[in-house]
Amino acid sequence: MKVILKENVEKLGEIGAILDVSEGFGRNYLIPKKLAIEANPKNIKQFEHEKRMIAARAAKAVKKWEDAASKLSSVSVAIEAQAGEEDKLFGSVTAADIADAVLKQGIEIDKRRIVLDEPIKRLGSYELPVKLYKNVAATIKLEVKRSES
């Protein structure tokens, strides 16, 4: 059975790929979950049109995210936290704290887009990547300072 993938399917293919799959896999899994449609001449023509529309929307989205990345790269954020000996924080600075600090500067980002391997637990300067879109990323400069109180 020939199908056109409507979504990226791991270990099978990407959007728009026309594949030969077993009859059962196509009818019982891919088509009911709307991951694929049957590849007949009508569906192929319709999907080509949809693909052009998707490409146009994706180009607009990339442009929007690149503009946001350029704004975000110029942002420098300072967060105050209580720290003990050897500059260890009593708590930690998380992605949510960083997103709130960036919001105070007038730029809204989702905390899930900030890439932190683990919460920040020491005073100092950090450069944090922010993954905005598929191939669009920015870097935020973060300064974690000792609070006065």
Q: What is the separation, in whole angstroms, between the first and last Cα of the chain?
A: 69
**Residues carrying CATH 3.40.5.10, the chain:** 2-62
Taking the whole predicted model, whether its pTM rises above 0.75 is answered as no
What's the pLDDT score for residue 10?
85
pLDDT digits (tens, 9 = 90+) for 41-54: 998 898 888 888 87
Average pLDDT over residues 114-138: 90
CA-based nearest residue to 78, from 97, 55, 53, 106: 97
**Residues carrying CATH 3.10.430.100, the chain:** 69-146
* Averaged confidence pLDDT in the chain: 89
CB atoms under 10 Å from CB of 76, counted, come to 11
What's the pLDDT score for residue 32?
95
**Distance between CA atoms of 138 and 70, rounded to whole angstroms?**
7
Which class is domain 69-146? alpha beta
What's the pLDDT score for residue 129?
92
| DSSP class per residue in the chain | -EEEESS-BTTTB-TT-EEE--HHHIIIIITTTTSEEE--HHHHHHHHHHHHHHHHHHHHHHHHHHHHHHHHHT-EEEEEE-B-GGGEEEEEE-HHHHHHHHHHTT----GGGB--SS-EEE-EEEEEEEEEETTEEEEEEEEEEE---
**Distance between CA atoms of 88 and 92, rounded to whole angstroms?**
9
Topology of the domain comprising 2-62: Ribosomal Protein L9; domain 1 (3.40.5)
Average pLDDT over residues 75-80: 91
CB atoms under 10 Å from CB of 121, counted, come to 15
